[in-house]
């Protein structure tokens, strides 16, 4: 099985992120959330889901990693890495963590 998703023992996660973003500094990286979206399933199911997410505007097809064999026989996986600027304030959320509703009027 391919070891493409297994990090090198000598490489830290922050080091890997800095390599992915060579023009950014450590402060900018610390203000980002790195999100991994993983699809695991049948080859057809993974391909169809990637296309559905593309049609919904979630991610470009080429943003996903190449399909790799998964641990279970007959299954494959693909990973999408998203970097998102961390929001500095939670004031925009209600007490249950959801965004407030827009007032009508």
pLDDT in tens, 57-103: 999 999 999 999 999 999 999 999 998 888 765 555 565 666 666 66
DSSP state of 55: H
Q: Within a domain: residue 33?
A: yes
Domains identified in the chain, total number: 1
Whether 35 is covered by a domain: the verdict is yes
How far apart, in Å, are the Cα atoms of 3 and each of 29, 39, 41, 47? Answer: 25, 17, 18, 21
Is there a domain that residue 41 lies in?
A: yes
In a domain, 95, yes or no: no
Between 13 and 66, residue with greater pLDDT:
66
Sheet of 76-85: strand order equals 32-41, 76-85, 68-69
Examine residue 48 and state whether it is found in any structural domain, yes or no: yes
In a domain, 11, yes or no: no
**40 has a pLDDT exceeding 50:** yes
Cα dihedral 14, 20, 25, 30, rounded to 10, equals: -40
Q: Report yes or no on 75 lying in a domain.
A: yes
d(CA 16, CA 24): 13
> Out of 29-38, 52-61, 96-105, which region has the weakest mean confidence (pLDDT)?
96-105
What is the residue whose two structure tokens read 């790195």? 34
Q: Is 14's pLDDT higher than 80?
A: no
Position 78 in a domain = yes
């Amino acid at each position: 099985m391919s070891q493409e998703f297994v990090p090198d023992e000598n490489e830290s996660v922050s080091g890997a992120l800095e390599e992915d973003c060579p023009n950014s500094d450590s402060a900018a990286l610390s203000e980002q959330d790195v999100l991994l979206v993983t699809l695991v399933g049948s080859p057809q199911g993974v391909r169809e889901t990637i296309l559905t997410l593309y049609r919904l505007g979630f991610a470009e097809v080429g943003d996903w990693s190449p399909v790799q064999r998964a641990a279970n026989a007959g299954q494959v996986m693909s990973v999408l890495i998203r970097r998102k600027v961390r929001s500095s304030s939670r004031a925009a959320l209600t007490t249950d963590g959801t965004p407030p509703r827009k007032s009508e009027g």
